[in-house]
Amino acid sequence: MAGAVLRYHTHDIVKTLEETAFQKLLQWLSDKKVQDFVNIQRSNGQICLTMSGLFNHRSALIIDIFKKISDIIARFLRASIYPG
């Protein structure tokens, strides 16, 4: 199992930017057709993502998911620091 917490800051979160980033991630996951083994829950102001699969089967797709999360969160962070 693998997991990630999607949160760029512990306070001062711009909800509209966060929601936009979250929707981009959901769309990307849907396009990759991985929603069957990805679980996403919102709790305590953060978005928790876990993935399940066989631990002995390395998959580039799993690595790509983490890269995409990183890319989306980095863009979200830049947009919140440098609006416009």
* pTM over the 0.75 mark: no
**Res. 10 pLDDT band, cuts 50 70 90:** low
Q: What are the two backbone dihedrals, phi and then psi, of residue 44, each rounded to the nearest 5 degrees?
A: 50, 40
Structure tokens at 35: 């929603």
Domain 2-81 class in CATH: alpha beta
Strands (E), the chain: 2-6, 38-43, 46-51
Q: 22-71: per-residue pLDDT in tens?
A: 888 889 888 988 877 788 888 777 778 887 766 566 667 778 888 888 88
Q: What residues have CB less than 8 Å from 34, skipping those under 6 apart?
A: 51, 61, 65
